[in-house]
Structure 1
Amino acid sequence: MTSDDVLKAFGPEIWIAQGPTVTAAAGFHYPTRMAVIRLTGGGLFIWSPIQLSDSLRAQVSALGDVHYLAPPNSLHHVFLGEWQKAYPDARTYAPPGLRDKRWDIRFDGDFDGPPIADWMEDLDLAIMRGNLITTEVVFFHRRSCTVLFTDLVQQFRPGWFKGWRAIVARLDLMTGVEAAVPRKFRIAFADRRAARAALHPILTWPAENVLMAHGDPVIGKGREFIRRAFHWLI
């Protein structure tokens, strides 16, 4: 799959772009997606930055100044350095676990730190604790009523994986008829109490849409979709 780094409007003050496919452990290929959110103050919040091409940089800069870089978990950090180089004045916030993994990245704050005043009118967040794979920060963009998941909810199209990887993906609930929490992440929630506590505010958000890094967006009835995706935890 090739990169399609064209910014496309997803809703009020939010845009998305498809990045290149990346290769994870055991040769599994994953598509990438990022979101650009324009905050009330005018600055841009970059969620899950993808590879930064000259074209993408021009499109982003046309929307405003990049104020924040937001890697949403300890797995989505591959392209973070090039964004910091391109936007040295942007503040980068760390999800739990990423500081220890990327000692070469400058972090200006942590998502589990004090609330950020610049975001408070635009974004809510919940930290999904208790997982042994990664601790994901889930965001809610108020103006577009969109919840942003990264790896906790996934769906790959039929035929994306080949051979034995297709079998593993099916067993892992990655290729179902509806996006779902992969089985490996369900098992990795060693602390179910902490996970349920983190999920509670997410279920109260008035979600209409759901964006995910690995899967087609869910348009409409997002709150009902999230409840179905996490029925095993509820």
Structure 2
Amino acid sequence: MLKEFGPNIWIAEGPTVTAAAGFHYPTRMAVIRLTNGDVVVWSPTALTDDLRSEVETLGAVRYLIPPNSLHHAFLGEWQRAYPDAKIYAPPGLREKRKDIRFDGDISDGPIAAWAGEIDLAIMWGNRITTEVVFFHRESGTAIFTDLIQQFPRGWFRGWRALVARLDLMVASEPSVPRKFRVAFTDRRAARESLQRILTWPTDKVVIAHGPLISNDGQAFLRRAFRWLAD
């Protein structure tokens, strides 16, 4: 179930979930093992016995990280399974999930326990959600959630297929959907965030809804965000 994506980073595919207007989305999570053996779970998917067993073979689950205010459906079950794990809230999620005990809020500064291993940048200025982008230094992996997407042709049916095509959700290469582009009402803030992301020596890219990018990650990100950088 866990697939190694680089040194000390693994990927797990979760179930398909239904979002607004009946759009179906696959789910994906990333697991990072820090140098001290602690485990960070990014965007937790449905917790099964098999997945739990595999994750626990990597080390102690110490951190559960929802990356934006949209990816939190399975957070409660992971907190119940790992009550001592710390959860840091991305902008906007604390208000939505009163049932979750948050141990802190994600800001533009690094999280002390990960300093030197995982960097982060908050993509400010979007009206849909404020996404936190992470960078795992050891594997050279940038981790995105909803800002970059690509679905296979035929994934959506009927009018949803038309919307997906117009929204660039089924473009020839993973890209930023048009709805997110329009929702960046503060483009100056977004560009400042992007500039920080583009300084990372990115080789690989994880996106929640689309293919994994295994090489030339920085060039890929420059293409995906050319519309914003220009």
> Does residue 156 of the first structure (1) align with residue 151 of the second (2)?
yes
Q: Which amino acid aligns with 2:217?
A: G
Superposition RMSD on alpha carbons, in Å?
0.8
> Does residue 227 of the first structure (1) align with residue 222 of the second (2)?
yes
Q: Give the conservation status (yes or no) of the 8 Å contact 1:19–1:32.
A: yes
Q: Give the conservation status (yes or no) of the 8 Å contact 1:38–1:44.
A: yes
SS across alignment from 2:28: strand
Q: Give the conservation status (yes or no) of the 8 Å contact 1:93–1:109.
A: yes
> Does residue 119 of the first structure (1) align with residue 95 of the second (2)?
no
Task: Decide whether aligned partners of structure 1 residues 24 and 163 sit closer, same or farther in structure 2, where only a CA change above 3 A counts.
Answer: same
Cα drift, residue 117 of structure 1: 2.2
> Does residue 134 of the first structure (1) align with residue 129 of the second (2)?
yes
Matches within 5 A, 1:65-214: 65-112=60-107, 115-214=110-209
Q: Give the conservation status (yes or no) of the 8 Å contact 2:68–2:90.
A: yes
Deviations 1:161-212 (A, max 9, x none): 1111111000000001100000000000000011001111101100011100
User: What is the distance in 2 between the residues matched to 1:160 and 1:101?
Assistant: 29
Cα drift, residue 122 of structure 1: 1.1
Cα drift, residue 113 of structure 1: 6.7
The number of residue pairs the alignment matches comes to 229
SS across alignment from 1:218: coil
TM value normalised by structure 2? 0.98
Q: Give the conservation status (yes or no) of the 8 Å contact 2:122–2:131.
A: yes
Fraction of identical pairs, as percent: 68
Task: Decide whether aligned partners of structure 1 residues 141 and 212 sit closer, same or farther in structure 2, where only a CA change above 3 A counts.
Answer: same
TM value normalised by structure 1? 0.96
Q: Give the conservation status (yes or no) of the 8 Å contact 1:39–1:118.
A: no
User: What is the distance in 2 between the residues matched to 1:158 and 1:218?
Assistant: 18
Q: Structure 2: state its 5+ residue gaps.
A: none
Q: Which amino acid aligns with 2:136?
A: H
Deviations 1:12-71 (A, max 9, x none): 000000000000001000000000000111100000000000110001111110010000
> Does residue 42 of the first structure (1) align with residue 37 of the second (2)?
yes
